[in-house]
Structure 1
Amino acid sequence: MTEDPGSVAATTSDYSEYYDNINNYGAPCNNGNTKEFSRVFLPTLYSIVFILGFIGNGLVVWVLIRYRQKSNMTDVCLFNLALSDLLFLLSLPFWAHSAMEQWIFGSFLCHTITGLFMLGLYGSIFFMVLMTVDRYVVIVHAHSIFSRNRSTKMGLVLASVVWVLSLFASLPNIIFAKVKNETSKTSCGSEFPVDAWKSFTYLKMNFLSLIIPLIIMSFCYSRIIPTLLSIKSQKRHKVIRLILAVVAVYFVFWTPYNFVMFLMYLQMKGHLNTCEWHTSLSLAMQWVETIALSHCCLNPIIYAFAGQKFRRAVLKVLKEQFPLCFSQCATLSRQLSERRSSVFTKSTEYSSTQIA
């Protein structure tokens, strides 16, 4: 039995098994509209995600490398989070081309691109969890030995552990990746030897991308927020809003994907096995998968640009690299400010004359 990586573990594909499936009554379930929608929709959305995500995460990596001498554990986590996003962003042009035409890149790249995507995907999720745990230690256990030993070296050790875990989580998809020659096109997908592997991959994605992160992040933030509320600081409300935004955005983007993934698991077990369900799930997977992938575009904004220290570092680097642009922008801003001041002065004088 074959399975596309997109329908198992968030990699993109042609969803061919849903176009030509058989329902409980033995009738062919072939939906050409769904297939055509995939050819147009997926390449467009993946291209947008690739461009926006590459710019944002590339800027994060660039700035953190420039200021690596001043790095701490948080910076190490940010760097690896951005690197994870870049890894699976690099695979999107290949999946976009495959969805639009067919897979022309051979068996070796099928394994490689699947590996890049899965490694980046799990790495991104695991590093977000690591950053949550790091915040928990710093805020809730501020005087513990773990909080005092948050060095760059410790960050590198933990980052190495996360990458190893991401690799192990990705191995089934990497090992069973295969170029499949079908009647209409050639595709790169996962072909599992037994159904047990297929079921395991569905459930693994649900647990590792939603259930376990939900448990860990809910526990950590349930302790972080009361601790912040007990601190008399004007910044606490801003920090709490940022925390809630991080959690809300993550689960808004990933819950629909995992819900559809679970429905596909039920379908594989013999439930919901009708043409209507096959068509609906194939369309739904294309939407929710793209929504989940686009979360990588928000990671730089949520985790990096929200911090004043990082924003200043970004502006400093950009000013060093593009001094002419910033000088022109500063001149334009000063001119606009002078015009507004002049208009305000004239308006005040006119009002004073009218009142007099």
Structure 2
Amino acid sequence: MHSFQCILFLCIGIISNIRLYAVTAEMTKSKSLSADVGADTTTTLVYDYADYYSLNIINFSPCDSHGVNAFGKVFLPVLYSLVFILGVIGNGLVVCVLVKHRNHTNLTDICLLNLAVSDLLFILTLPFYAHYVVVSTWTFGDFMCRFSAVSHNTGFFSGIFFMVVMTLDRYTVIMHSLTVARYRTLRAGIAITIIVWMLSFSVSLPALTFTKVTNESSLLACSYTPDSYAWELYELLAPNILGLVIPLLVMVICYLRIIPTLVNMRTTKKHRVVKLIVSIIVAFFLFWTPYNISLVLKFLKDGKKMQSDECTLGGNLKLAVTVTETIAYTHCCLNPIIYAFVGQKFMKRAMQLLKDWVPWIPFPSRNDMSDSSYRKSSIMSRSSELTSTIIK
């Protein structure tokens, strides 16, 4: 950018000297004519350079983001495609297993089912955005622009909220098992499901209202265009506060109180459960925190709150958002593994379902994974029941 400014000033100087030379030549010619006719005249030249120094150089030196855009066109579609495929397979299997065994559904299964549906709603919008990145224009119309935005946000927030519900449910079962057992009913699960989905949709309403198709440089863009700074600030604070800070605090506080109780229990599963709890917190923190930090820094940069080289900082932040966004989105692929597939009971049901679908693959036999054999091998004690609630 500095070299461009130097060239621009040099061009301005050359043009100024040419114009000054032309005016001077004209004056010289006029003086010669006056001398020839014997006229005694005096002319004073006053030239104003203020217009040149009042130029906004930034407007004439656009930042070159071709490299970041080219990287995004390759990186984002590939990662979006992988997230879409793995997410649909993993979460789809969770939905199929839980729906097939819906007669044995409890509050934990309801939360797992809704978490999988939330992840599916979230990742089903990724093909639209992948196509948008590749062709650099939105070709699906204003309705799909708004629908994709609200589905994307609703899936994101509902997934986070159901993770919080599962954390609180585990906490109450472990710490207050005798008092809350009668409240963990199917009716309570349905009521919690309705509340979470309504809350998630309400939080996502600004995306539905302010996201629209706009014409930018002869290309159609699907973008969030709020009509005030308050809604722009909301778009930043909602994912950070409701989607990261509060859920992370709830998980850390609840699990820090659960772990000592589990350690003191007489069960062979406690070490496995502690590792699972730690993996839940660490995965959530590592996958989502970099993305939220990148969004905050980009917001500060766009609001001129950070003093630095505009082009260098803008390019780095755009690249950071591109990379961390995709990493954060892959978390929905891990949810089936973290919350479902590590549980022995769910693994048994999933293997039975896959055995029925693809019988030529050598899965464990149905007898080895039957409900009766599973019940015989389980330890019917309070501690094992509680740990089964966590690793279910």
TM-score normalised by the chain length of structure 1? 0.83
Q: Shift of residue 323 of structure 1?
A: 2.3
Q: Deviations over 1:324-351 (max 9, x none)?
A: 3348999xxxxxxxxxxxxxxxxxxxxx
| Distance verdict in 2 for CA 1:269–1:230, change over 3 Å | same
CA distance in 1, matches of 2:170, 2:60: 54
1:289 maps onto 2:321 in alignment? no
**8 A Cα contact 1:23 1:29, kept in partner:** no
Q: Shift of residue 141 of structure 1?
A: 1.1
2:268 corresponds to which residue? 234
CA distance in 2, matches of 1:122, 1:253: 15
Q: Shift of residue 72 of structure 1?
A: 0.5
Q: Shift of residue 42 of structure 1?
A: 1.0
| Higher RCO, Cα 8 Å, sep 6+ | 1
2:353 corresponds to which residue? 317
| Distance verdict in 2 for CA 1:223–1:41, change over 3 Å | same
User: Is the radius of gyration larger for structure 1 or structure 2?
Assistant: 2
Match of residue 129, structure 1, among 158, 164, 171: 164
| Distance verdict in 2 for CA 1:304–1:327, change over 3 Å | closer
2:150 corresponds to which residue? 115
Q: Deviations over 1:47-77 (max 9, x none)?
A: 1110011100000001111100111100000
**8 A Cα contact 2:298 2:318, kept in partner:** no
Q: Shift of residue 295 of structure 1?
A: 0.2
**8 A Cα contact 2:351 2:364, kept in partner:** no
1:149 corresponds to which residue? 183
The one-letter code matched in structure 2 to 1:282 is: K
The one-letter code matched in structure 2 to 1:179 is: V
1:307 corresponds to which residue? 343
Alignment of structure 1 residues 1-356 onto 2, 5 Å: 27-101=61-135, 102-144=137-179, 146-183=180-217, 185-272=219-306, 274-326=310-362
Q: Name the SS for the 1:180 alignment partner.
A: strand
**Structure 2: gaps of 5 or more residues:** 1-55, 367-392
**8 A Cα contact 1:77 1:130, kept in partner:** yes
CA distance in 1, matches of 2:91, 2:346: 13
| Distance verdict in 2 for CA 1:327–1:147, change over 3 Å | closer
Range 319-328 or range 258-267, more displaced: 319-328
The one-letter code matched in structure 2 to 1:86 is: L
Q: Shift of residue 200 of structure 1?
A: 1.7
CA distance in 2, matches of 1:282, 1:185: 20
CA distance in 2, matches of 1:329, 1:320: 11
CA distance in 2, matches of 1:270, 1:223: 43
Range 90-99 or range 201-210, more displaced: 201-210
CA distance in 1, matches of 2:323, 2:61: 27
CA distance in 1, matches of 2:176, 2:256: 14
RMSD: 2.0
Aligned residues: 308
